Amino acid sequence: MAMNGGYLDEYEKLVIRMNTPRVVIDNGVCSSATIVKVDSSRRNGILLESVQILSDLNLSIKKAYISSDGRWNMDVFHVTDINGNKLNDQSVLSYIEQSIQTVYYGESIEATGLTALELTGSDRVGLLSEIFAVLSDLNCNVVDAKVWTHNGRVASIIYVKDYSSGSPVQDSNKISRIEARLRHVLKGDNGVARTCVSKDLIHTERRLHQLMFEDRDYEMRTEEKSHVVVVTVQNWAEWSYSVVNVQCQDRTKLLFDVVCTLTDMEYVVFHATINTSSDQAYLEFYIRHKDGSPISSEPERQRVIECLQAAVERRSSKGVRLELRQPDRQGLLAEVTRIFRENGLNVTRTEISTSNDMATNIFYVTDAGGNEAKPELIKSVRAKIGFESLRVKEMPCVDHQKGDGEGGDQERKAVLVSLGSLVWRNLFNFGMIKSCS
C-alpha cells in the first residue's frame, strides 16, 4: 500500500509537470517590449486568464499572437508598462509567471472578507449619490467599487463591510434592508439589487461585462459615440472558422474586454493576432463555438458585432477624470457624490479603492446633459470638496476619427482584412517568432 501511495504521488507530480503551463519572459528579443510566452495544454478560458493577469497589472499589450494546435496553446504577448517601457522589475516578472501557473489550476484569490453588492438599472444623474447615501445611512463602509455606464444603463459591484465592526455584513435582516433600500432607489429604472459572498465572485470587471450583457446594453445603440469601434465578422468556410476583426482606439485592458466577451458568449479563440500602431489597435480572432462550429446565421453575426462594440465602449472614459484622495471616513462617498449631483455633474464611470484607511477614488464626470463639463464648474466643485483632495487628472480626448466618411470606413476595413495574412503565417510556424516586427 505504501508503494502504491508513493506511485500515485509520483504520477500526480508527473501530471502536474505535463500540464503546468511553461511561462518564458524575455527582455532581450525585442527592443521596445517585454515578451511573455505561455505554452500550455488547451483548456477553455486559459487565454482569458493570462490576459486578465496582464491587464490587472495595467500593462499595455502592444502585440500578441495566439495559436492553438490540437491539444496545445501557444500565446505570445508583447507588453510594456503604462508609460511604454519594458518591464524590468523582477518582482513583477515573477508575479506574472507564478500567477499564470496558479490560475491555471483554478486556485482562487483569497476571500476579501467583504460583502459584495451587484446593482444594475437605468443610469441617471444623481443615482450614485443616492446609492452611497443609502449605504452610509445603513452603516455600510464602501471599501472597493467599480461602476460602469453605457447606453443609458449602469452596472456596479460594490464591496462593503459593517462600519462599526469592520466585518462583512452577514446579518440576514440587515442584508434584506440593504437590498430593499437599494431596490427602492432603482425603482422605476428596471433595476436589480442583490448581495453575494465576495469569495464566490468571479473577476470584478469580468462580472461587470456579464451584468451589462445580461442587461442587453448592446441593443440600445446611441447615435453618437465618443470612440469609433469597427467590428467585422466573416466565415472562413474552408477551415470552419469565423473571423472577427476589431479596430478601435488603443487603450489598456482592450484585449481583456474583447476576449472576456467572446469567452462569455461561449466562443473559443483558436488563433489571433493583435497589433497596435500609434493610438490604434487592430485585433483579429479565429473563433468557433465550443462544439467546433462557426457562426451560423446573420442574426448571430450581428449580435457578435453589437456585443463586441459594447464591450469596447463600456470602459471608454467619457468625461473629466477626477481623483479624490482623502482619509477614509463614514459618509465620504455620499458627501462627495452629493456635491457632484447638486452641481449638475454626472458620474459616467467610477473606481473606488481603500488602502491603509486612505480612500483613492476615481470619477469620470460630464455635465447633466452628458457633455463635457465646463472648467469653471469643475473648479467650483473642487473648491467645495477641497483643491488638494480632488484633483483633475485627465481631460477628455478629442476624437479625431469622427466624420472621416465612407473613405475612412473603407480604409479601416482594408486594414482589417490585411491582418488575416498575419494569423495565417503564424498558424504553423508560430514558434519561430523572434522579433517585434
pLDDT in tens, 192-213: 777 665 555 678 999 999 999 9
pLDDT value of position 9: 64
pLDDT in tens, 129-155: 999 999 999 999 999 999 999 999 999
pLDDT in tens, 171-182: 889 999 999 999
Residues 263, 290: Cα–Cα separation, whole Å:
10
Residues 38, 47: Cα–Cα separation, whole Å:
9
CATH no., domain 115-168+185-193+318-394: 3.30.70.260
Cell of residue 105, nine digits: 489550476
Binned at pLDDT 50, 70 and 90, residue 320 comes out as very high
Domain limits of the chain? 22-107+221-314+402-437, 115-168+185-193+318-394
Q: What CA–CA distances, in Å, run from 376 to 340, 343, 362, 367?
A: 14, 11, 20, 12
Nearest to 139 by CA among 171, 96, 107, 108: 171
Phi-psi region of 69 (alpha: psi -120 to 50; beta: other; left: phi over 0): beta
Q: What angle do CA 162, 165, 170 make, to 5 degrees?
A: 50
What are the backbone angles phi and psi of residue 170, rounded to the nearest 5°?
A: -120, -15
Q: Contact 315/253 with Cβ under 8 angstroms?
A: yes
pLDDT in tens, 283-315: 999 999 999 999 999 999 999 999 999 999 999
Range in 23-37, 175-189, 240-254, 339-353 with the lowest mean pLDDT: 175-189
Count Cβ atoms within 10 A of the Cβ of residue 200 and give its class: 0-12 exposed, 13-18 middle, 19 or more buried: exposed
pLDDT value of position 220: 67
pLDDT value of position 435: 37
Binned at pLDDT 50, 70 and 90, residue 113 comes out as confident
Cell of residue 375, nine digits: 472648467
The residue type of 309 is: Q
pLDDT value of position 201: 63
Pure H helices in 125-171 = 127-137
Cell numbers 462599526 correspond to what residue? 164
Q: What CA–CA distances, in Å, run from 143 to 21, 166, 177, 360, 367?
A: 34, 10, 19, 10, 27
Q: Please give the average per-residue pLDDT across 406-433, as a whole number.
A: 38
The residue type of 419 is: L
Residues 7, 324: Cα–Cα separation, whole Å:
58
Cell numbers 482562487 correspond to what residue? 108
Q: Is the pLDDT of residue 63 over 50?
A: yes
Q: What angle do CA 204, 210, 216 make, to 5 degrees?
A: 145
pLDDT value of position 4: 54
The 241-249 sheet, strands edge to edge:
22-26, 34-41, 72-80, 60-69, 267-277, 280-289, 241-249, 230-236
Q: Contact 48/260 with Cβ under 8 angstroms?
A: yes
Residues 176, 160: Cα–Cα separation, whole Å:
15
Phi-psi region of 203 (alpha: psi -120 to 50; beta: other; left: phi over 0): beta
pLDDT value of position 196: 65
Q: Please give the average per-residue pLDDT across 87-110, as a whole number.
A: 75
Its pTM surpasses 0.85: no
